[in-house]
Amino acid sequence: MPLDPFNDLDPDQTVNVLPRRLAGPGTLDLHTVWPFPFDDGWHLHPADAGMVFASSPCARLWTRFAPEPEKRGKGTWTIGASHVPFGELTWQTVFDATTPAELLRDVHAELLDLYDQGRLFDGATERYEGYALLLDRGWSRNVKTSDIQTSLAPDLLGGVHQYVNKATDRPEWRVWGGDIWEPDWSAELSSGTPTALVAAFTASLVSTEPVQRAVRDLPVHARQHLYMATPTAKRPPGCSPVTLPFSGPVPGRAR
């Protein structure tokens, strides 16, 4: 068995590591994941058992964190959008709570941009944009039919599966990190999810900007596949980790 490259480091030492998809969730909190301007019309709805909702001023977009520590995925982050306030969902995405926080942050940042631009239901972006960057980063592409294709990471510890929903003629997506049969985390993006949002997720997935973790928080089973890297950019302000559940106001984002 390959040696643990982090074995000689202090468990409390902070390291910058890649690939992101194998680094573990990090310390999750709403300050890290949700960039929404709660001081400018967005609503925060704390609920029981640590569950938290956020909704847009028009109530056509909502997102939710639901902790389930007893389950493998430790809970879910869910985004839902509808054409009428709190109406039937037009599209939905669901991410395991074990998804790396940086990926979740990038998805929600893109979500806010799409909302501000009025593009929540935009189908103008070509579907290949959802996986184009994966191919540039050496991921394989297996096309079963014109409607079904799968991209796998070079080390096979991560993938993106796309298939076309026959009823809507729009793609659905499944993304995971780790072993395909026992992933560390997975995400489901329904038909109708803006391709721009999928592209932001896959871009974050293969980003070469390392993520910061304490050695003790690195998944033991993944350590032989991780490597320490030099940071390529500063972390955005307001991303100091605070343990969930959330118990205070979320700062607004300067627009």
- Kindly indicate the confidence band of residue 83, based on its pLDDT and cuts at 50, 70 and 90: very high
Q: Which two tokens stand for residue 244?
A: 């969930």
Chain segment 114-139, per-residue pLDDT in tens: 999 999 998 777 888 999 999 999 99
In the sheet where 14-18 sits, what is the strand order? Answer: 211-214, 14-18, 227-228
pLDDT value of position 204: 98
Stated pTM of the model? 0.87
- Closest to 106 in 3D by CA, of 229, 218, 184, 209: 209
pLDDT value of position 232: 56
- Kindly indicate the confidence band of residue 62, based on its pLDDT and cuts at 50, 70 and 90: very high
The three-class DSSP label of residue 234 is coil
Number of H helices, E strands in the chain: 4, 13
Please say if the pLDDT value at position 187 is more than 70.
Answer: yes
Mean of pLDDT values over 206-226: 95
Please say if the pLDDT value at position 245 is more than 70.
Answer: no
Chain segment 150-175, per-residue pLDDT in tens: 999 999 999 999 998 887 788 899 99
CA distances from 138 to 71, 126, 133, 154 (A): 33, 21, 9, 6
Q: Which two tokens stand for residue 101?
A: 């926080």
Please say if the pLDDT value at position 238 is more than 60.
Answer: no
Q: Alpha helices of 25-157 — where are they, by DSSP H?
A: 30-33, 101-116, 132-136
pLDDT value of position 2: 64
pLDDT value of position 254: 36
- Kindly indicate the confidence band of residue 244, based on its pLDDT and cuts at 50, 70 and 90: very low
- Kindly indicate the confidence band of residue 191, based on its pLDDT and cuts at 50, 70 and 90: very high
CB-based contacts of 157: which residues, under 8 Å, 6+ apart?
21, 22, 177, 178, 179, 222, 225
| Higher-scoring residue by pLDDT: 1, 213 | 213
Please say if the pLDDT value at position 255 is more than 60.
Answer: no
Please say if the pLDDT value at position 240 is more than 60.
Answer: no
